[in-house]
């Protein structure tokens, strides 16, 4: 075997060594550029501390200024607000009712009537006695929670109930509420299911 072949099989020049070399400058520049523009994108689209998202409303009047001022959206917002303040305590903000306390309004035959006469009588006069709701009997003692509301507020609440939680029924107007209120007059008396059923829808 030649001396050259021996040197190749049995290297005697020492162990191989690791050599450090700098990363190409273009890779560093591209990486930093991508990080910079990625940060800008997240900052402008991610919310973070954007005052449009996180700035508090300093007054109730300022918050009110962002609410719908007219039309169906305003009526829906008004109905939701009054419902949650007056009715949601017992019937739940989701309209599902509370066992042993108040029946559901979602899918209730008393809410989904063709007209609004019976429905308007309930909050204007209150309930006292038994009432069947969705096949279940409820014994209720409900005050006339709607008697103190304006015609506009009560109409908005009833409309909200008839159009929320999957309910699909017609709108109730302030004039509709006024007609029922005028018909009741000063003879406010809690009603029961049998009395309500004798009324036209």
Domain segments of the chain: what residues? Answer: 26-58, 72-197
Q: pLDDT category, 10, cuts 50, 70, 90?
A: low
Q: Between vectors from CA 119 to CA 117 and to CA 121, what angle results, nearest 5°?
A: 70
CA distance 79 to 165: 14
Check if the beta carbon of residue 177 is closer than 8 Å to that of residue 118.
Answer: no
Check if the beta carbon of residue 157 is closer than 8 Å to that of residue 113.
Answer: no
Q: pLDDT category, 178, cuts 50, 70, 90?
A: very high
CATH of domain 72-197: 1.10.760.10
Q: pLDDT category, 191, cuts 50, 70, 90?
A: confident
Check if the beta carbon of residue 84 is closer than 8 Å to that of residue 107.
Answer: no
Retrieve residue 26's tokens: 């273009």
Closest CA to 83 of 154, 20, 139, 19: 154
Calculate Rg over the CA atoms of the chain: 35
CA distance 199 to 201: 6
Segment 1-10 long-range contacts (CB within 8 Å, at least 24 positions apart): none
- Report DSSP state, residue 166: T
Once rounded to an integer, what is the mean pLDDT over residues 51-76? 72
Q: pLDDT category, 194, cuts 50, 70, 90?
A: confident
Retrieve residue 15's tokens: 């162990």
Q: pLDDT category, 122, cuts 50, 70, 90?
A: very high
Of 60-74, 102-116, 130-144, give the lowest mean pLDDT range: 60-74
CA distance 94 to 102: 13
- Report DSSP state, residue 48: T
How many other C-beta atoms can be found within 10 angstroms of the C-beta atom of residue 105? 26
For residue 19, report the phi and psi dihedrals to the nearest 5 degrees: -115, 135
Check if the beta carbon of residue 165 is closer than 8 Å to that of residue 95.
Answer: yes
């Amino acid at each position: 075997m030649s001396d050259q072949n021996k040197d190749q099989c049995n290297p005697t020049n020492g162990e191989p060594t690791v050599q450090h070399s700098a990363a190409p400058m273009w890779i560093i520049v591209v990486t930093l550029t991508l990080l910079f523009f990625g940060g800008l994108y997240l900052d402008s689209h991610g919310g973070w501390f954007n005052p449009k998202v996180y700035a508090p409303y300093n007054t109730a009047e300022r918050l009110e200024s962002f609410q719908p001022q007219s039309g169906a959206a305003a009526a829906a917002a008004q109905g939701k607000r009054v419902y949650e303040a007056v009715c949601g305590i017992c019937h739940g903000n989701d309209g599902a009712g509370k066992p042993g306390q108040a029946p559901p309004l979602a899918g209730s035959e008393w809410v989904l009537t063709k007209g609004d006469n019976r429905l308007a009588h309930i909050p204007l006069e209150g309930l006292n006695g038994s009432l069947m709701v969705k096949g279940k009997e409820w014994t209720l003692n409900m005050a006339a929670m709607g008697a103190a509301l304006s015609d506009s507020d009560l109409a908005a609440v009833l409309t909200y109930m008839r159009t929320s939680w999957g309910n699909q029924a017609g709108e109730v107007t302030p004039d509709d509420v006024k007609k029922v209120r005028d018909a009741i007059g000063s003879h406010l008396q809690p009603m029961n299911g049998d009395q309500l059923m004798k009324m036209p829808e």
